[in-house]
Amino acid sequence: MRPALRAGRDLGFWTLCFLALAVVVAPSLAMVGTLLQQAGPALSLHLLTATTANNGLQNAILGSLLIMLGVLVVAGPIGILGGIYLAEFAPAARAGVLRLGYETLAGVPSIVIGFVGYVLLAQALHWGFSLLSGILALSAIVLPYVVKTTEVALLQVPSTLRDAGLALGLSRLTTLRRALLPPAVPAIASGLVLALAIAVGETAPLLYTLGFSDQDPSLSLFQHPIGYLTYVVYLNATLPTRLEHEVAGAAGLATLLLILALIGIGRLASRRAARFRAQLPT
Partner 1 sequence: MSFFPAAQGTGRRAGPLPIRRPIRLRDADLTRRDRLARSGLLLAAGIPTAMLILIAAEMVVQSLPAFRYAGWGFFTGRVFSFGNLYVTKLQVQNGVSAPHGATYGAFTFIFGTLVSSVIALLVALPLAVGAVLALTERVPVRLQSTVSIFFELLAGIPSVVYGFWGILVLGPLLAAHLYPVLGRLGAVVPFFRGPVGYGEGLLTASLILTLMIVPIIATTTRELVRGVPILAKEGALALGMTRYETARVVTLPYVRRGIWAAALLGWARALGETMAVLLVSGNLLNGLPANIFSPFSTMAATIVAMLDSALTDATGMAVHALAALGVVLLVITVATNLLGRLIIRRVTGGAVLPVGRGI
Map the footprint of partner 1 across residues 149-188, applying CB under 8 A.
149, 152-153, 155-156, 159, 171-173, 187
- Applying CB under 8 A, which part among 8-16, 40-48, 51-59, 212-220 lies near partner 1? 8-16
Number of Cβ within 10 Å of residue 207's Cβ equals 22
- Which residues between 95 and 114 bind partner 1 (CB under 8 A)? 97-113
Q: Are 149 and 190 in contact (CB under 8 A)?
A: yes
Contact 75, 139 (CB under 8 A): yes
State the minimum distance, in angstroms, from the CB of residue 279 to partner 1.
Answer: 13
- The residue (of 85 and 222) whose beta carbon lies closer to partner 1 is 85
Query: CA 72 → CA 19, 142, 173, distances in Å?
Result: 40, 10, 24
The half-sphere exposure of 244 on its side-chain side, counting CA atoms within 13 A, is: 12
Q: Which stretch binds partner 1 (CB under 8 A): 50-58, 125-133, 134-142, 212-220?
A: 134-142
Select from 72, 179, 192, 208 the one that contacts partner 1 (CB under 8 A).
208
Distance separating alpha carbons of residues 115 and 207, to the nearest angstrom: 9
35 binds partner 1 (CB under 8 A): yes
Looking at residues 39 to 78 of the shown chain, list those that interact with partner 1 (rule: CB under 8 A): 77-78
Spatial distance between the Cα atoms of 159 and 236, rounded to a whole number of angstroms: 53
Alpha-carbon torsion 247, 251, 253, 254, what sign? positive
User: Residue 4, interface with partner 1 (CB under 8 A)?
Assistant: no
CA distances from residue 111 to 5, 205, 240, 279 in whole angstroms, order as listed: 51, 5, 26, 44
Return the number of the residue (116 or 185) whose C-beta is nearest partner 1: 116
Number of residues that bind partner 1 (CB under 8 A): 114
Instruction: Work out how close the CB of 143 gets to partner 1 at its nearest, in angstroms, rounded to a whole number.
Output: 5
- Is 143 a binding residue for partner 1 by CB under 8 A? The answer is yes
Site for partner 1 in 216-275 (CB under 8 A): 230, 233-234, 237-238, 245, 248-249, 252, 255-256, 259-260, 263, 266-267, 270-271, 273-274
Instruction: Tell me how far apart the alpha carbons of residues 155 and 84 are, in angstroms, rounded to a whole number.
Output: 10
> Which residue in the set 241, 278, 279, 281 belongs to the binding site for partner 1 (CB under 8 A)?
278
